[in-house]
Structure 1
C-alpha cells in the first residue's frame, strides 16, 4: 500500500521459474548474456530441474561464465552454459525451446578432492544435501555448489557444522568462493558484518537478516544496487546477552558518517532496523528509508509479567518442522543454529515489548509475500507498525509461498 492508499501487487512473471528454492527470471539471465561481447543469441531454459543457458557466437567464448557472473549471483547462475552454431527455430522464427531440451547436455568433469580440507568440505556438502532429499553421492571440487542443489538454508547448516569442529567458515565465503576448490584455500574468520559490496560510496544499505540468518541472505542486492556500499549483519558475532540496543549502536557507529543511509530488516531483523533508525535520527542523521520485510509486531504472551517466547519451547525436531512449513522445503538444522535462532527471537520479543511505541521520520516500506504463512492476514495487521513508527506506511506485496523470500524480491524494490 502506497501513500496514496493503494496496495501495489507484483504479479507472477511467466518467464520466472523456481530453482533450488530461488525464483529466477530467465529473461534477466538472457539479457545479461546478450551484453557479453560476441554473443549473438541467448536462451535460458529449465531441463531436469537444472538451469541451462544456450548461446550462439562466431566461436565459443571461453570466459563466458566469468563474464556472466559479474551480473548474476552464484545461486542464479546456469548449471551449464552451452555453445551452439545456430539456435533451433520454430516456423515463426522464435527459438524452439522444446528442441533445446532434447539436446544432450555436456557432462561436467568430476574432479575428486585431494587435500584434507577439500575432503571435509565435500563430505559436509554431500551430507547436508542428502538430508534434504537430494540424490547425490559426490561433488566435484570444481562444481558450483549452487548447481549441486545448495541454497541459503543449506549453507546455514553446513557453516554451523564446520564451525562446530573449529573451522570458522562464514556465509560470505560460500558466496564469494562457490566451489570446494576455492573454499579450501580461504582464510576463515568470523566478523560482525560482511561488506557485500564496497566501493567507498556516499550511500550505505545496512541489512539485518532473519533469526539465525547470515549476511549473504542479501547477496542479491549487490547485483541490483549500484553506487552504494551494502553491509550484511552477522548476529552470531555478538555475545548472547548483547541487547538489540547495543548491537544497533555498534552499527550506528559504523554507518553514521555516510551521507545517505538506508536500513533493511527481515523478520526479527526488523527490531534491529527499527532501533538503528531511532538511534541515527536521535543523532540528527537522516535515514532515506526503512524497509521491513516479512515482519509484523506480535502480541507477546506473558506469565507473571515475563514474556514467553514460543520458539524457546520447541524441540529441535519441532523447530525444523516449523521452519520447513515456513520455507516450503525440508529444513534440517541443529546445534548452534537452533541456539542462535532462539537467542535472536528472544531479542526481538524482549525489545518490541520494551519499546512499546516510537516515532521516526524515515519513510517506511513494508514488504510481504502473499503466500507467507508467518505474516498471514498482513493486509489488516500491517497497521500494527504505526505505534512503532508514527508515520505513513507503504505496503508492497510480492509473490512467494516462503517466509524466507528475500532472494525472490524484485531488485527494484530494495
Structure 2
C-alpha cells in the first residue's frame, strides 16, 4: 500500500510512551473520525496515509482498491489518494502519533461505540501493569492483564478496575478482568485473541436481590432508567451502562420517590444500590467525603501524588460538570470540585468573596491537606479562585496554577449608580447590535435560540406576576442576590502571579472585552507587560453560553492543556 516506512521515531530507553513517531518526508498522515473530519490532537480516529510513497492500488483487485484507496479531500490535487489503514491512533501535542489498535477492534455495546484500544491504553498506564488486551464477548467487556510481577490471587484487578473509573466513562469499564501470566501469541508474535482463556463466572457475580424498602426503590429506579429487567444490590450503576446524564436523572427520580435530596456526586461515590441506600437512609450526614449537603469539597478523582486541582463552581452549578475534565487528566492528578456551601444557606447572612474563599480553604486544608494547590474557577468561581489564591499564598502555600474558565472580570457595573449604568448601557448598544448581527450570520439557529431565551427571561423578571413564580424561581432570585452581593463588595486586588484564561472561541452573548474578558484591565495596574500576569489565553472551540463551555467536546482539549 505504501513504502515500507511511512512514520518513524527513534526509540530510546528513557521513552515512557512508545509512539510510531512522525510522518517521513513527502508523506501525510491524517487521523479521521467516522464523519470524515480530521480530529483534534488527543482524539482517537482512523489513520489514513497519503503522499508520494502511496501505491496506486492493489494489482488486479479493483474492488479492494476502491475500498482502501480513497480520494484525498485534504489535497489540492484532484488525483491525490489516501490509504485507509484500518488502524486507530491519535496525534499528541508533540506531533507524534500514538497507535491505538485496529479499527476492527471497535465494538458497539448497548448502542455505544467503544474503542477497545482506548481501554487497553489506559490499562497499560496503570501501576504494575505490563500489558493488557480487551475483548468483547456476549455483550460484555473482558480485560486480560499481564502484571509486572505475577502473583496468583493478589487482587490487583480490583484496584485497577477502581482506578479506571477516574479516567474512563462507566460504560467503558471492563465487566470482567482476568490477571494472566503472559499473553498467548501467534507464530508471528501477535496476541492470539482466540486463545485467551474463557472467564468462568463465580458466585461473586450472582444477582443479589434488594432487602430493604430503600434498596427496592433504588433498584427499581435504576432498572427503569437503564432498561434492565432487574438490578442487584451489588450491581454498579456505571458498569450497567450508566453515565453522567443518566446519573442526574436517577438522583432526580430518587428525590421524587423519597423526598431526600443528595448531591449528584453521591452516585459517583456510592455507585451500587447497597451503598447508595445506606447513604440515603443516613441522609448524607457526611460519612463520605464531599457527599453531604453541608460539604463543599467533592472528590472527582481523589487519587494521585501531584498537587491537587481544585475546581470551583459557577453560579448555582453542580461540580459534576467537571467530571469529564477530571477523567481526561493524568492518572496521578487528583481533582476535587468545590460546590456551593454557605452561599446556598438562604437563611444565613450574606457572605463576601473573602468569607466564601476562607470557608472553602478551611475545609480544603482539613480534607485535602497539601503544600501546593492548583486552582481553577468557572464563571463566578473564577473570583473565588482568585481570592483563594491570594489567601493561600499569604499562608505560605504554593499555588501552581490559577485558571479562569470563561470568567468575565468586568464587574464594575455592580457598583454603578443609576446614571452610570444608563450611560454605560447607552454606549454599548451599537457594539452589542454589531456583535449580535455577526453572531447571527455565523450561527443563526443558536443566536436566535439564545436571544429568545434572553428576552423571555427579561420579560419574566419585569412583568411576571408574583403568583406565577414557583418556589424554585424564588430560591434562584435569592441566590442571585447572594452572588451579586459577593461580587458587588469585591475588588480584584492586583496580583503579579500568572493567570491562565480559558474562554469560548465563539460566544452567543455580548461582552465588551471579547479577548481578555476584562482580566487585562484588572490585572495590568502596577505591571507593564500584560503577559507577566496573563500567562496564556486559550480559545476553547465551542459555541454558546457558559453552560456550553464544559459540556462540549472541548473538555478533552482543556484537560490536555
TM-score above 0.5: yes
For residue 207 of structure 1, report the CA deviation from its aligned partner: 2.4
Q: Is the counterpart of residue 206 in structure 1 residue 310 in structure 2?
A: yes
Asked if the contact 1:54/1:81 (under 8 Å) is kept, the reply is yes
In structure 1, the residue matched to 2:534 is 392
Q: State the match for 2:267 in structure 1.
A: 174
Check whether the contact 1:357–1:387 (CA below 8 A) recurs between aligned residues. Answer: no
Query: Distance between the aligned counterparts of 1:80 and 1:336, measured in 2?
Result: 43
Q: Please give the secondary structure, in 1, of the residue aligned with 2:388.
A: helix
Q: Does 1:287 align with 2:399?
A: yes
Report the number of matched residues. 371
Distance 1:303 1:69, change over 3 A: farther
Which of 95, 100, 124 is the matching residue for 1:31?
Answer: 124
CA RMSD of aligned residues (A): 5.6
Deviation by residue 1:236-291 (Cα, 9 ceiling, x = unmatched): 55324744613223224445896434322134422322343355567786633211
* 1:247 corresponds to which of 320, 340, 356: 356
Point out the more displaced range, 284-293 or 394-403: 394-403
Larger C-alpha radius of gyration, 1 or 2?
Answer: 2
Mapping for residues 316-331 of structure 1, pairs under 5 Å:
none
User: CA 1:381 to 1:178, structure 2 compared with 1: closer, same or farther past 3 Å?
Assistant: same
2:163 to 44, 51, 71: 71
1:233 Cα deviation after fit: 1.9
TM-score, structure 1 length as denominator? 0.63
- What's the secondary structure of 1:43's corresponding residue? strand
Instruction: Summarize the alignment of residues 199-278 of structure 1 with structure 2, pairs less than 5 Å apart.
Output: 205-215=309-319, 221=326, 224=330, 231-235=336-340, 238-240=344-346, 242-243=350-351, 245=353, 246-254=355-363, 259-278=371-390
Q: Helix, strand or coil: the match of 1:403? A: helix
1:42 partnered with 2:132: yes
1:185 has 2:278 as partner: yes
Deviation at 1:292, TM superposition (A): 2.1
Offset of residue 386 of structure 1: 2.0
* Structure 1: segments with no counterpart, 5+ residues: 1-8, 316-334
CA distance in 2, matches of 1:25, 1:206: 27
> Taking structure 2 as the reference length, what is the TM-score of the superposition?
0.49
Pairing 1:122-133 to 2, within 5 Å after superposition: 122-126=219-223, 129=225
1:118 equivalent in alignment to 2:215: yes
Three-state SS of the structure 1 residue aligned to 2:550 is coil
Listed one character per residue, the Cα deviations across residues 58-111 of structure 1 (whole Å, up to 9, x for unaligned) are 8986835412145322645614125498868788644578x79xx999797443
Distance 2:234 2:393 in 1: 48
Greater mean alpha carbon deviation, residues 186-195 or residues 16-25: 16-25
* 8 Å Cα contact 2:502-2:538 kept in structure 1: yes
Distance 1:255 1:84 in 2: 38
Is 1:365–1:395's contact at 8 Å kept on the other side of the alignment?
yes
Equivalent residue in structure 2 for 1:360, among 495, 501, 511: 495
- Alignment check: 8 A CA contact 1:210 1:267 kept: yes
Q: Distance in 2 between matches of 1:82 and 1:125?
A: 24
